[in-house]
Amino acid sequence: MEENPVIPPSSPKLGKVYLVGAGPGDPGLITLRGKYLLERAEVLVYDYLASKKLLRYVPATAELVYAGKQGGVCHTHTQEEINQLLIDYARQGKMVVRLKGGDPFIFGRGGEEAESLFDAGIAFEVVPGVTSATAAATYAGIPITHRDYTASVSFLTGHEYPGKENSNIDWASLAAHGGTLVVYMGIKNLPVITENLLKHGRAATTPVAVVRWASTPEQRTVVGTLTDICQKVREAGITPPALVIVGEVVRLREKIDWFEKRPLFGKRVVVTRTREQASELVAQLEDTGAECLEYPTINVGPLESYALLDEELERIKEYHWLVFTSLNGVRYFFEHLFEKGMDARDLKGPSIAVVGKSTADLLRQYGLRADLVPEQFTAEGLAEALMDTGVGGRNILIVRAKVGREILPETLRGAGAQVMVVPVYQNMPPPGIHDALVADLAGGRIDAITFTSSSTVKNFLDLLDAASQEELTKLLGGARIAAIGPITGKTVSDHGLTVDVQPEQYTIEAMVAAMVSYFSDPHESCQATEPT
């Protein structure tokens, strides 16, 4: 410990350390203040219990330091080293976020870290977090206090050996007062804990719940009584991190359990979309309880040259139709337009057709209304809708990806139109994720794979790179396949695979609804419709 430490004069600015509670596991349970600080971190020091999903908020330029710690043992740094690390980074003038599972001051040694920062003269702030005790109770459907059952709750650690001399835990009074008990780090010592409570007079029938990885897709809850919970936990193979909740309130789980009852809880789903587009599907799947593993099989990027688009923009007035076949088509088209100092006013002349409602909605944001949206949101549907307007001799400009299906331009040409196809972006499978995907699929750990376009199917299969049909089937490990519509579904079956789920309406909502009904009754309903 230093006396009167000083910041080195070379330090350009004063650093500061923020001890931030990450919450119990569900990344949605961090505070707004915590997220605000993550977004500004220059250094992030995080540990085992903090959700890795929170790392997405940290700037790409930030330095990430994993401080480990599992089962109370830190494999990468000792507590003293962590304290010193925080001090050293702050002395370099860095904005340091120390992200800790749950709440920093509840069995998290946050107190010790703050003390050591104080002793070193480093500025710090502490942001509370949702502690795992309340989260585990809430997510297991157990109100830790309830007017009919108990007016008190105690948080304690099971790590302190209850039989040890000078124990801080007064088992006699904890057993006697009858309030709810929540025990952190109590799995290893569960036999001693239950024994102590029984010895000091807690009823043998007192219900006990053990909740592992609370608030995450891996949450598991085992319920028993003070006499049989140890055996049940052993049989279920429950290992840390888990919390033990003791008290009559555990009985309420029968009615209040909500988290584990969501329709796709426990299901692991691969989402194959571009990174920027995946979020809506992921959000909707997660709302149903599914765990999403995101595989961006397509990276969308700009073209090297926009000379062709520039040429056509020069003569845009000669076109009768301007056609957008994807969201990215709209985005990249306008990006280039704006770069040239142009905007929607320069598109006067052609009518505008789009492939579906989302594309029309996006177009509105750029200040243009689509004149034509087909009823069927496919290239075929769009071709038909355009042909209904009479395309013979008309000039049509199609804006799309560099490599795309030829069905639209071919059909329109067949109907006598003059068609020009202009690419504005390209799809490329990202490098280096093959191994991660194969590992995730291995051992049948994936319940479903979702495809939202033919190119996601193709890129996914390219990524898997199976040598033969048998190997492909083996790699997929029995995962079910969900396709958003018939075109995507056909691409799946063209590759020798079976489509298990395909909604009637080609929207993300309908696809998620179809997956829910498939998994609640896998044998009956292979095809489901969007609920009205």
108 binds ligand SAH (CB under 6 A): yes
Nearer to ligand SAH, 242 or 476 (CB): 242
Q: What is the smallest separation between the CB atom of 132 and ligand SAH, expressed in angstroms? A: 3
In angstroms, what CA-CA distances link 390 with 249, 355, 381, 418? Answer: 70, 18, 15, 12
1 given a catalytic annotation: no
Indicate which single residue of 27, 102, 224, 404 sits in contact with ligand SAH (rule: CB under 6 A).
102
Contact 62, 94 (CB under 8 A): no
- Tell me the sheet residues that pair with 425: 302, 401
At a CB cut-off of 8 Å and minimum separation 6, what does 101 contact? 22, 23, 24, 25, 47, 48, 49, 50, 108, 129, 132
Instruction: State the minimum distance, in angstroms, from the CB of residue 137 to ligand SAH.
Output: 10
Kindly tell me which of 26 and 500 has the beta carbon lying closer to ligand SAH: 26
455 binds ligand SAH (CB under 6 A): no
Stretch that binds ligand SAH, among 234-242, 256-264, 312-320, 412-420 (CB under 6 A): 234-242
Q: Is 106 in the site for ligand SAH (CB under 6 A)?
A: yes
User: What are the φ and ψ backbone dihedral angles of 304, each rounded to 5 degrees?
Assistant: -70, -35
Note whether 34 binds ligand SAH by CB under 6 A.
Answer: no
Is there a catalytic annotation at residue 185? yes
Question: Which residue stretch of 106-114, 297-305, 420-428, 457-465 sits at the interface with ligand SAH (rule: CB under 6 A)?
Answer: 106-114
Q: Which is nearer to ligand SAH, 87 or 182 (CB)?
A: 182
Check binding of 423 to ligand SAH (CB under 6 A). Answer: no
The reply on whether position 381 binds ligand SAH by CB under 6 A is no
Stretch binding ligand SAH (CB under 6 A), from 104-112, 245-253, 297-305, 421-429: 104-112
Q: Is 185 in the site for ligand SAH (CB under 6 A)?
A: yes
SS3 67: coil
Q: Which stretch, 57-65, 95-103, 431-439, 524-532, contacts ligand SAH (CB under 6 A)?
A: 95-103
Q: Residue with CB nearest ligand SAH? A: 102
Contact 191, 230 (CB under 8 A): yes
* Catalytic-role residue among 26, 47, 103, 500: 47
Q: What sign does the dihedral 80-84-87-89 (CA atoms) show?
A: negative
Alpha carbon distance 63, 409 (integer Å): 49
Among candidate residues 320, 337, 334, the one with its CA nearest the CA of residue 365: 334
Among residues 94, 100, 103, 185, the one annotated as catalytic is: 185
What is the contact mask toward ligand SAH in residues 139 to 178, using x (rule: CB under 6 A)? ----------------------------------------
CA distance 279 to 256: 29
Q: What are phi and psi of 61, to 5 degrees?
A: -80, -10
CA 400 to each of CA 289, 364, 381, 426: distance values in angstroms, whole numbers, following the listed order: 35, 18, 16, 9
Closest by alpha carbon to 273, among 265, 258, 283? 283
Residue from 230, 243, 249, 398 that binds ligand SAH (CB under 6 A)? Answer: 243
| Cα–Cα distance for residue pair 446/478, rounded to 1 Å | 8
Stretch that binds ligand SAH, among 73-81, 241-249, 310-318, 402-410 (CB under 6 A): 241-249
Sign for the pseudo-dihedral over CA of 78, 79, 84, 89:
positive
Phi-psi category of residue 88: left, alpha or beta, with phi > 0 → left and psi -120 to 50 → alpha: alpha
| Cα dist from 65 to 91, 139, 289, 303, whole Å | 16, 30, 31, 36
The binding track of 9-28 with respect to ligand SAH, each residue x by CB under 6 A or -, is ---------------xx---
The rounded distance, in Å, linking the Cα atoms of 233 and 228 is: 9
Place of tokens 């033969």: 468
Whichever of 213 and 519 has its CB closer to ligand SAH, that residue is: 213
Q: Report in angstroms how near the CB of residue 468 gets to ligand SAH at its nearest.
A: 42
Other C-beta atoms within 10 Å of 221: how many?
Answer: 24
Instruction: Report angle CA 240, 245, 249 to the nearest 5 degrees.
Output: 155
Binding residue for ligand SAH, selected from 37, 182, 214, 514, defined by CB under 6 A: 214
- In the bound state with ligand SAH, the residue whose beta carbon lies nearer, of 24 and 296, is 24
Q: Under the criterion CB under 6 A, does residue 49 sit at the interface with ligand SAH? A: yes
Nearer to ligand SAH, 143 or 477 (CB): 143
Report angle CA 196, 201, 206 to the nearest 5 degrees: 85
Site for ligand SAH in 303-332 (CB under 6 A): none
> Measured from the CB atom, is 256 or 316 closer to ligand SAH?
256
User: Does residue 213 belong to the site contacting ligand SAH (CB under 6 A)?
Assistant: yes
Choose, by CB under 6 A, the member of 90, 174, 193, 242 that binds ligand SAH. Answer: 242
Q: How many residues sit close enough to ligand SAH to count as binding (CB under 6 A)?
A: 24
Which residue, 158 or 409, is less far from ligand SAH as judged by CB? Answer: 158
CA dihedral 262, 266, 268, 269 (to 10 degrees): -10
Active site residue 53: no
Q: Which residues are catalytic?
A: 47, 69, 185
Q: Which residues bind ligand SAH (CB under 6 A)?
A: 24-25, 49, 100-103, 106-108, 131-132, 136, 184-185, 211-215, 240-243
